[in-house]
Amino acid sequence: MQDTPRITINTPVVFRDNLPKSVDVVIIGGGVIGVFAALYLTRMGKRVFLCEKGRVAGEQSSRNWGWIRQQGRDAAELPIMMHALGLWKAVDKELHGQCGVTTIGTYYLETTQKGLAKHERFLQIAREHGIDTRPLSRKEIETAFSGKSQHNWIGGITTPSDMRGEPWRAVPMVAKLAHKEGVLIRENCAVRALYIEAGRITGVITEHGRVKCAQVVLAAGAWSSLFARRHGVSIPQLAVRATVAQTAPLPAFFSGAAADAQLALRHRDDGGYTLAPGDHHAFFLGPDAFRHFRQYLPAFRQSWKKTKLRLKAPNGFPDAWGMIRYWSETETSPFEITRVLEPAPDMKRVALLQDHFEARFPEIGRPEIKSAWAGMIDSIPDIVPIVDHVNTLPGLIMATGMSGHGFGIGPGFGQIIANMVTGKKVAFDMSRFRFNRFTDGSRLELGGSL
C-alpha cells in the first residue's frame, strides 16, 4: 500500500465549493462526525453545506490511533459502535478498500490481577450485547505476537471482531464520496457565528459570507466549546494532548491492535506500526479548566497519574489564556487564526515508546520512528459525547466531546445525527448523550476506559 502523507496545514486544499445562498443544513467541522453526518443527510435528500476552517480531517480525525473498537466502550455507546462496524465495512466497500478497514481484533493486556479485574465489568456488558469479547491467557498473548514477546503480561481481554482503519486516508475518502453525491464542502472556510432571528437559527455567517439554513450541526471537536460559548451555550468541554508515532516498516509479527498501561500499538497498511503511550495525555491549564474544575474531579481522580499538567497552552489553542472569547461577525475569528490545531508531540514520550516496544519485543528490536505527531482530544467530564438538540437555541444540534472515541464510532453517530436532523426515529437510547445532563442534577458516571 502506497504511503499516505499526514494531514497538516500544508496539505493542499481539496474542496473549494462556492458559498451557497441557502441549504437545509450547515455542518460546522470536517472531522469524522461531520463528514459522515453530511454523507447520510445527502442520501436522505437534504441539501448540505459542510464548512471546515482548515482541512478535512486535519485535526483529531486523522491524528488518532486508527482503532475501530467495541472493546472498552461505555455501555450506552456499545450498541451504536456495533452498528458503526457495519457502516464502516459498507463505506469501505463502496470506496474499494481505500479506508483501510480491516478486522484485526483488539487486545487489552495486563501484568497484575488488579488490572485483570477491572475488565470484568466490560466482559459482562459484552455478554449482554452478544459481542465476542473474551478473556486472554498468557499463552494466547504469546501466540498473538508470533512468539516474539516474553513480556510479563499475565492475561487480558480480546474482541476478535474489532477493526482498524487508516485515519490519514479514511475520512478524506468519505468526504470525497459525500462530495460526489452532492454535499457542498469548503475548506479554509470558518463559520464565525450563527445567524439567529426570533431566537431561532436561520443561517450561519462564514468568513466568506452568509448561508441561510434551518439547522446547524456543531461538530467542531476541540473548538466546539469556544464557538458555543460565544452564543451563550456553555458545555464543560476541555482538550488533552495525545502523542502518536509511526514506525518504519517492521516484520509483520502482529496484525492486531493492543494496549497495556504504557504502550499501544496497531499494525498499519504501510508495513509499520502506530505507537502511542497507552492512555497517557498532557493537559494544558486555561480559563475553561478552572471554570469546569469541579465537574472534572471524578475523571481527574481516576487518571491523574496518567495526565501531565502544563501550566499554559500555546497561543492559538482553544483554551489558551490569551484566546479571544468574543468576536463580531465582521472580525477575524479564532478559527481563522488557527486553521489546523497542530500541537507539538512529546518527543521524550516518543523515546519512551521506543524503549517500551524494545522491552516487549526484543527480537524485533528498537523501532525506527518515521514520524511523530500529536492531536487535541476533545473531552467531556464523564468521557462520553454530547449528541443532542440544544433546546435553548432551536435549530442547533451539538455533536462533540467524543473523548478519543470518535473515529471508530463516527459513522454510527453520523447516521444518528442525520436522523435527528430529519426528524426520523433514532434506534438507540440517547439519554446518556443528552445536552442537559450537566445541569439537570444528574449524577455523572464515568464512561468506559481507553
Distance CA 143, CA 220 (A): 42
Position 450 scores a pLDDT of 46
Stated as kind and residue range, the H or E segment containing 42 is helix 32-43
Is 106 part of a structural domain of the chain?
Answer: yes
The residue written with cell numbers 497517557 in the block is: 280
Distance CA 17, CA 184 (A): 6
How many Å is the Cα radius of gyration of the chain?
21
Can you give the CATH number for the domain in which 207 is found?
A: 3.50.50.60
What's the rounded mean pLDDT across residues 150-179? 97
What's the rounded mean pLDDT across residues 166-172? 97
CA-to-CA dists, residue 421 to 42, 161, 412, 426, 432, angstroms: 11, 31, 14, 11, 19
Position 3 scores a pLDDT of 67
Is 192 part of a structural domain of the chain?
Answer: yes
Is 372 part of a structural domain of the chain?
Answer: yes
Residues 6+ apart with CB under 8 A from 441: none
For residues 188 and 335, the answer to whether their CB atoms sit within 8 Å is no
The residue written with cell numbers 459513522 in the block is: 411
- How many domains in the chain? 1
Is 330 part of a structural domain of the chain?
Answer: yes
Question: Tens of pLDDT along 6-36?
Answer: 999 999 999 999 999 999 999 999 999 999 9
Is 298 part of a structural domain of the chain?
Answer: yes
For residues 397 and 216, the answer to whether their CB atoms sit within 8 Å is yes
Neighbour tally for 134: CB within 10 Å? 13
Is 235 part of a structural domain of the chain?
Answer: yes
Beta bridge partners of 108: 157, 259
Instruction: Quote the crossing angle between the two packed helices 167-180 and 32-43, to the nearest 10°.
Output: 30
Position 301 scores a pLDDT of 81
Question: Tens of pLDDT along 203-226?
Answer: 999 999 999 999 999 999 999 999
Distance CA 50, CA 138 (A): 48
Position 2 scores a pLDDT of 53
| H-helix segments, 74-119 | 78-94, 113-117
Is 450 part of a structural domain of the chain?
Answer: no
Q: How many residues does the chain have?
A: 450
Question: Tens of pLDDT along 224-247?
Answer: 999 999 999 999 999 999 999 999
| Structural domain that includes position 316 | 25-438
Is 135 part of a structural domain of the chain?
Answer: yes
